[in-house]
């Protein structure tokens, strides 16, 4: 009975925060970037909460069930991406206003912006769906709620409070949700470590950094298709756009990277323990983490991890949904500072939220949905955006050709690696980045004068 009360209370609080935050929405800037008033702890908390969604928590544990300690690379690669982003964060904060496609448009022209505004939301529907899938599996495991009902219920709640509260409510809730996530995983790992005196190394023969289920090529593909999305990513950039200064943006990225490194091993430890404790678990129908929580943790630990898992799902879903909706609204509204941009964005939130719910009803694999979506995005935009931030400029035609070719090849490679030959698929994904770069950097290049001038002023 207590867990049902806790669930209702948690969802009511999320809705209440959204309603309360909606009263503070005075301008489009308040809704889209929280008025650019985000402090270091707000931006860092929101960034971590966004990253540590169902893919990071449930997905990593499931990977650890199969890959052992090598599953740590999922979160370690995210930390690596942040380390690369640290010196670039000031440029993101300086040049960016509302969205990543706006940056791409500033670098390469309106056609490149339009292409980004199409590809990113399509890919991000998969990211939102992955969070809904995670929420439904949590509901099913803890409360016995049917998967379909869990998808619809969780989807409607986060769509509602995102719809009315925008970035103001997201920044406020995310820092507390990040604290729930980090605390829940840390305390659970400590409890298990001291109450089950079996060496973590002996729990599985599949060690770190590589084993028979994860090799060097797999790591290379992970760094290219996943780690790079933390160097160039719509959700990450949307957090930096909310920062009150360039220094806050840079420090928040650095702090996030530091926190993610130990977290990678903590969450993997839970998955390794799950494979040791429940070696015949059918984790495909749920998460390997859930039986550990229900059967191993004390009652207070179950409540804490319920809060952590719900926080992980909700905090990622709202950010990804809002980011995709703002990106689509920009060209439709002919600018995000127009009078109709706020209404259009809210209507798009409803539409994208509905599509994500439908996708979650059809596809139930978190990691599968996540990695396909990220492959499409990373193949298209990692190289051009990173180059643009560093001052590189080229023609609009070449930039759009590079993005289109990269996204198509990355998608083909990821699908082939999942349903055909994994090695061939991985090499196709790697070729997507090479082809993107070859097209982008071919011919004449020019340095961005604005970039040089502003650097000289620093």
Query: Can you read off the two tokens belonging to residue 377?
Result: 């995005």
pLDDT at res. 450: 45
User: What is the C-alpha separation between 14 and 24, in angstroms, rounded?
Assistant: 16
Number of domains observed in the structure of the chain: 1
Q: Is residue 425 part of a domain?
A: no
Q: Is residue 427 part of a domain?
A: no
Residue 66: CB atoms within 10 A of its CB come to 15
Packing angle, helices 246-277 and 147-195, rounded to 10: 80
User: What is the C-alpha separation between 7 and 97, in angstroms, rounded?
Assistant: 36
- Residue-number span of the structural domain to which 41 is assigned: 1-366
pLDDT at res. 262: 94
pLDDT at res. 342: 87
Q: Is residue 248 part of a domain?
A: yes
Q: Is residue 436 part of a domain?
A: no
pTM value is 0.80
Q: Is residue 18 part of a domain?
A: yes
Determine which helix (DSSP H) or strand (DSSP E) holds 309, and give its type and residue range: helix 299-333
pLDDT at res. 357: 87
What is the DSSP secondary-structure string of 351-370? Answer: HHHHHHHHHHHH---HHHHH
pLDDT at res. 348: 92
Q: Which residue has the tokens 């089950």?
A: 196
Is the sign of the CA dihedral 273, 275, 281, 285 positive or negative?
positive
Q: Is residue 91 part of a domain?
A: yes
User: What is the C-alpha separation between 224 and 81, in angstroms, rounded?
Assistant: 10
Query: Can you read off the two tokens belonging to residue 33?
Result: 């970037």
The CATH code of the domain that includes 14 is 1.20.1730.10
Q: Is residue 112 part of a domain?
A: yes
Note down pLDDT in tens along the chain; length 458 residues.
666 676 677 777 777 877 777 777 888 888 888 888 889 999 999 999 888 876 678 778 888 888 889 999 999 999 999 999 999 898 888 877 788 888 888 889 888 888 888 888 877 777 788 778 878 877 777 777 788 888 888 888 878 878 887 888 788 878 878 888 899 899 999 998 888 877 666 676 677 888 888 888 889 888 887 888 888 888 888 899 889 899 999 999 999 999 999 999 999 999 888 888 877 766 655 577 888 888 888 878 887 888 788 888 778 888 888 888 998 998 888 888 888 888 999 999 999 888 888 888 876 665 566 667 777 888 888 899 888 888 888 888 899 999 999 989 998 988 888 778 878 888 998 899 999 999 999 865 555 444 444 443 34
Q: Is residue 264 part of a domain?
A: yes
3-state secondary structure of 392: strand
pLDDT at res. 33: 86
């Amino acid at each position: 009975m207590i867990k049902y009360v806790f669930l209702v209370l948690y969802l009511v609080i999320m809705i209440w925060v959204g309603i309360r935050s909606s009263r503070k929405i005075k301008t489009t800037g308040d809704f889209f970037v929280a008025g650019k008033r985000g402090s270091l702890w707000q931006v860092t908390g929101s960034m971590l909460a966004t990253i540590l969604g169902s893919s990071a928590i449930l997905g990593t544990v499931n990977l650890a069930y199969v890959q052992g300690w090598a599953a740590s690379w999922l979160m370690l690669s995210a930390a690596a991406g942040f380390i690369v982003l640290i010196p670039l964060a000031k440029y993101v904060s300086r040049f960016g206003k509302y969205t990543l496609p706006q940056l791409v448009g500033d670098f390469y022209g309106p056609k490149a912006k339009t292409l980004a505004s199409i590809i990113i939301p399509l890919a991000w529907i998969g990211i939102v769906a992955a969070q809904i899938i995670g929420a439904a599996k949590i509901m099913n495991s803890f409360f016995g709620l049917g998967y379909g009902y869990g998808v619809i219920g969780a989807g409607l709640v986060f769509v509602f409070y995102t719809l009315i509260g925008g970035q103001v409510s997201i920044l406020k809730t995310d820092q507390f949700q990040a604290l729930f996530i980090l605390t829940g995983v840390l305390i659970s790992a400590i409890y298990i470590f001291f109450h089950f005196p079996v060496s973590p190394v002996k729990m599985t023969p599949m060690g770190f950094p590589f084993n028979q289920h994860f090799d060097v090529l797999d790591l290379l593909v992970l760094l290219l298709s996943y780690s790079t999305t933390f160097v160039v990513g719509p959700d990450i950039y949307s957090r930096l756009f909310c920062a009150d200064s360039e220094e806050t943006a840079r420090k928040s990225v650095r702090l996030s990277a530091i926190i993610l490194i130990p977290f990678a091993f903590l969450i993997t430890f839970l998955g390794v323990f799950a494979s040791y404790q429940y070696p015949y678990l059918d984790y495909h129908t749920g998460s390997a983490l859930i039986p550990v929580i229900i059967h191993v943790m004390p009652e207070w630990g179950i409540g804490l991890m319920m809060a952590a898992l719900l926080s992980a799902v909700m905090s990622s879903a709202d950010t990804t949904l809002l980011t995709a909706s703002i990106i689509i609204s920009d060209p439709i509204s002919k600018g995000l500072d127009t009078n109709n941009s706020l209404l259009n964005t809210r209507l798009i939130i409803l539409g994208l939220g509905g599509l994500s719910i439908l996708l979650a009803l059809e596809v139930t694999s978190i990691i599968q949905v996540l990695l396909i979506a990220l492959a499409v995005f990373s193949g298209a935009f990692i190289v051009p955006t990173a180059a643009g931030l560093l001052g590189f400029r080229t023609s609009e035609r070449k930039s759009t050709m590079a993005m289109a070719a990269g996204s198509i090849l990355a998608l083909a490679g990821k699908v082939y690696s999942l349903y055909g030959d994994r090695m061939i698929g991985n090499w196709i994904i790697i070729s997507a980045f090479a082809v993107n770069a070859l097209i982008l950097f071919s011919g004449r290049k020019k340095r961005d004068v604005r970039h040089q001038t502003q650097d000289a002023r620093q």
